[in-house]
Chains A and B, each alone.
Chain A
Amino acid sequence: MGKGVARSTAEPMGYSRWLLRAHSLLVFVFFYAPIVVLVVYSFNKSAVVGKWTGFSLSWYGDFLANDNIQRSIWISVKVCVASTVISVVLGTLAALSIERFRWWGQKAFDAVLYLPIIIPDVTMAVMMLVFFGETAELFNVIPGVDLTDGLEKLVLSHVAFNISFVSVVVRARLAGLDASMEEAAADLYASRWQVFRRVTLPQIMPGVLGGALLAVTLSLDDVVVSSFVSGVGATPVSVYVFGMLRKGVSPLINAVSVVILVASMALVVASLVLERATSSQKGK
Chain B
Amino acid sequence: MNKSELLELKKTACKVRQWTVEGVFNAKSGHPGGSLSAADIMTYLYFKEMNVDPKNPKDPKRDRFVLSKGHCCPALYAALALKGFFPTEEIKSLRHIGAMLQGHPDMKNTPGVDMSSGSLGQGISAACGMALSAKLGGDSYRVYAMLGDGECEEGQVWEAAMFASHYKLDNLVAIVDYNGLQIDGSVEDVAGLDKLNEKFTAFGFEVFETDGHDFEQIEDTLNKAKEVKGKPVAVIAKTVKGKGVSYMENQVGWHGKAPNEEQYKTAMDELDAQLKALEA
Is chain B found bound to chain A in the same assembly?
no
